[in-house]
């Protein structure tokens, strides 16, 4: 397995082009199953999770033309030959569950492996299944697979989510666009990736209103057409590089459309920590000369995202004073703490709360990446630590951060990928 080697202590200066959002691209790719016409996508990030979704779509019979170095895809689900998402494909990427809603909506049936647990928590899908049942699907669980059927098509209904679920909202939204009648999603997720999906679906001929609010209304239509859609920038990648600028007391220009609107509470939090932020329509400039402690609670959008919790913890480990970080979305998302502690951070965990006492420096060490966002928290630590840091198991990073070492090297970081022996 490849590893990353970092020499800490270099302030980052330069421009970082922010890639398309993985978490917007994956549901939009699954939406190709809703039409027999071609869906053309731009600004698709070149990541292993995208390749996993392409493999799944191909296994279902989708004709996929991908040029990921140009960030383009053409997807045509004219002939869907199979409605089964196998365990082998789903276990590699949990977002595979996103094919469930589209397959039932257009083909009347789907068989999708239950995703099971993962490093950051149990990750249930009960609300996806309840939502589909509310639209008339019958659901059974057989041999670890979700079997959903609606031979006469789905029927619009009201789906109330007891907790905010991003993937659940996306799955039911895609199912409802081809249902007969009106569907109302109550307590829907507000995430920008949901708005991006709804806009793509509307361009395909769907009738969705209210996306970006707690109540989404969908008037079902009989068929959808193809369209051309550009994915929004990755707000988590942007937030992560913003933290890299802060961590190293550097100055970075993050290039991407409307980043300020995608990260409202995040930039407010970063200002409290000590960042100077200058926002323009298609770029944000970020620098910082000192780091102050700050209390943070992860929340659904527009609150502080769980996907930036590990990274901000690293930055706060070098801040003046003590910070309290509460994780409210996932039950096991502090695995980076043990690794940061090995690098000299002073962090204690009490259930879903971490207390981070700022220290004056971190020391390089060999560490192990445990999940996607935790991996970058270790990269941030390595950027500022004294001496050398070796990060093992970086395949997690390749799932969600495009060209990490190229982007960081271009801004002055001393980082190198060591290929597997």
The site string for ligand UD1 over 327-346 (x = CB under 6 A, - otherwise) reads --x-----------------
Residue 118 is a catalytic residue: yes
The secondary structure of 113-144, three-state, reads ECCCCECCECCCCHHHHHHHHHCCCEEEEECC
Residue 23 near ligand UD1 by CB under 6 A: yes
Which part of the chain contacts ligand UD1 (CB under 6 A), choosing from 1-9, 76-84, 299-307, 400-408? 299-307
The site string for ligand UD1 over 65-104 (x = CB under 6 A, - otherwise) reads ----------------------------------------
Q: Which of 18, 118, 36, 103 is nearest to 76 (CA)?
A: 36
143 class by beta-carbon count within 10 Å (0-12 exposed, 13-18 middle, 19+ buried) = exposed
Nearer to ligand UD1, 270 or 330 (CB): 330
| Residue 416 Cβ vs ligand UD1, minimum distance, rounded to whole Å | 28
Q: Are 89 and 67 in contact (CB under 8 A)?
A: no
State the catalytic residue, choosing from 118, 200, 294, 414: 118
**Binder to ligand UD1 among 27, 136, 300, 364 (CB under 6 A)?**
300
400 class by beta-carbon count within 10 Å (0-12 exposed, 13-18 middle, 19+ buried) = buried
Which part of the chain contacts ligand UD1 (CB under 6 A), choosing from 118-126, 286-294, 311-319, 391-399? 118-126
Distance CA 402, CA 391 (A): 17
Which part of the chain contacts ligand UD1 (CB under 6 A), choosing from 39-47, 162-170, 175-183, 405-413? 162-170
Q: Which of 407, 322, 356, 330 is nearest to 18 (CA)?
A: 407
The secondary structure of 258-323, three-state, reads CHHHHCHHHHHHHHHHCEEEEECCCEEEEEECCCECCCEEECCCCCECHHHHHHHHHHHCCCECEE
What sign results for the dihedral spanned by CA atoms 70, 392, 400, 356? Answer: negative
| Residue 191 Cβ vs ligand UD1, minimum distance, rounded to whole Å | 6
Residue 27 near ligand UD1 by CB under 6 A: no
Q: Which of 345, 283, 279 is nearest to 312 (CA)?
A: 345
What CA–CA distances, in Å, run from 29 to 5, 60, 78? Answer: 34, 13, 14
Distance CA 312, CA 242 (A): 10
Rounded to 5 degrees, what are φ and ψ at 319?
A: -85, 165
**Binder to ligand UD1 among 42, 67, 88, 126 (CB under 6 A)?**
126
| Residue 7 Cβ vs ligand UD1, minimum distance, rounded to whole Å | 30
73 class by beta-carbon count within 10 Å (0-12 exposed, 13-18 middle, 19+ buried) = buried
Binding positions for ligand UD1, 357-376, rule CB under 6 A: none
Distance CA 134, CA 305 (A): 29
**Binder to ligand UD1 among 22, 128, 211, 229 (CB under 6 A)?**
128
Nearer to ligand UD1, 123 or 292 (CB): 123
| Residue 127 Cβ vs ligand UD1, minimum distance, rounded to whole Å | 3
Residue 115 near ligand UD1 by CB under 6 A: no
CA angle 196/202/205 to nearest 5° reads 150
Beta bridge partners of 14: 252
Which part of the chain contacts ligand UD1 (CB under 6 A), choosing from 30-38, 50-58, 134-142, 158-166? 158-166
| Residue 340 Cβ vs ligand UD1, minimum distance, rounded to whole Å | 19
Nearer to ligand UD1, 358 or 373 (CB): 373
**Binder to ligand UD1 among 8, 101, 168, 233 (CB under 6 A)?**
168
Q: How many residues bind ligand UD1 (CB under 6 A)?
A: 18
Tell me the chain's radius of gyration from C-alpha atoms: 21
**Binder to ligand UD1 among 16, 103, 134, 164 (CB under 6 A)?**
164
Residue 308 near ligand UD1 by CB under 6 A: no
Residue 124 near ligand UD1 by CB under 6 A: yes
Catalytic residue ranges: 118
Summarize as ranges the residues that interact with ligand UD1 (CB under 6 A).
23, 124-128, 163-168, 189, 300, 305-307, 329
């Amino acid at each position: 397995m490849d590893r990353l080697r970092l020499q800490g202590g270099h302030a980052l200066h330069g421009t970082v082009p922010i890639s398309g959002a993985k978490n917007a691209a994956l549901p939009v790719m699954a939406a190709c199953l809703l039409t027999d016409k071609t869906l053309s996508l731009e600004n698709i990030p070149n990541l292993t999770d995208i390749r996993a979704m392409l493999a799944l779509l191909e296994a279902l019979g989708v004709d996929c033309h991908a040029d990921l170095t140009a960030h383009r895809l053409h997807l045509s689900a004219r002939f869907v030959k199979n409605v089964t998402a196998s365990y082998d494909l789903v276990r590699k990427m949990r977002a595979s569950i996103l094919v469930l809603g589209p397959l039932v909506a257009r083909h009347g049936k789907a068989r999708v492996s239950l995703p099971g647990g993962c490093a950051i928590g149990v990750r249930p899908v009960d609300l996806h299944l309840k939502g589909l049942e509310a639209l008339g699907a019958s659901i059974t669980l057989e041999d670890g697979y979700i079997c959903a059927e609606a031979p006469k098509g789905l029927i619009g209904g009201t789906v109330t989510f007891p907790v905010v679920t991003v993937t659940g909202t996306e799955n039911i939204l895609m199912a409802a666009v081809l249902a007969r009648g009106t569907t109302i999603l109550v307590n829907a997720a507000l995430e920008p990736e949901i708005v991006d999906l709804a806009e793509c679906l509307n361009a395909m001929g769907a009738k969705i209103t209210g996306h970006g609010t707690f109540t989404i209304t969908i008037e079902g239509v009989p068929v959808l057409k193809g369209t051309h859609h550009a994915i929004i920038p990755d707000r988590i990648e942007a937030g992560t590089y913003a933290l890299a600028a802060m961590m190293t007391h550097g100055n970075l220009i993050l290039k991407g459309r409307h980043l300020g609107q995608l990260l409202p509470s995040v930039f407010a939090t970063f200002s409290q920590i000590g960042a100077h932020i200058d926002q323009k329509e298609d770029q944000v400039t970020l620098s910082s000369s000192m780091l102050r402690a700050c209390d943070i609670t992860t929340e659904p959008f527009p609150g502080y995202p769980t996907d930036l919790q590990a990274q901000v913890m690293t930055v706060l480990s070098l801040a003046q004073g003590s910070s309290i970080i509460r994780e409210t979305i996932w039950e096991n998302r502090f695995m980076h703490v043990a690794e940061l502690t090995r690098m000299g951070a002073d962090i204690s965990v009490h259930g879903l709360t971490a207390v981070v006492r700022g220290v004056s420096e971190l020391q390089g060490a060999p560490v192990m990446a445990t999940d996607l966002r935790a991996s970058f928290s270790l990269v941030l630590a390595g950027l500022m630590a004294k001496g050398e840091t070796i990060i093992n198991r970086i395949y997690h990073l390749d799932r969600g951060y495009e060209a990490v070492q190229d982007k960081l090297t271009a801004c002055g970081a001393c980082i190198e990928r060591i290929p597997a022996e």
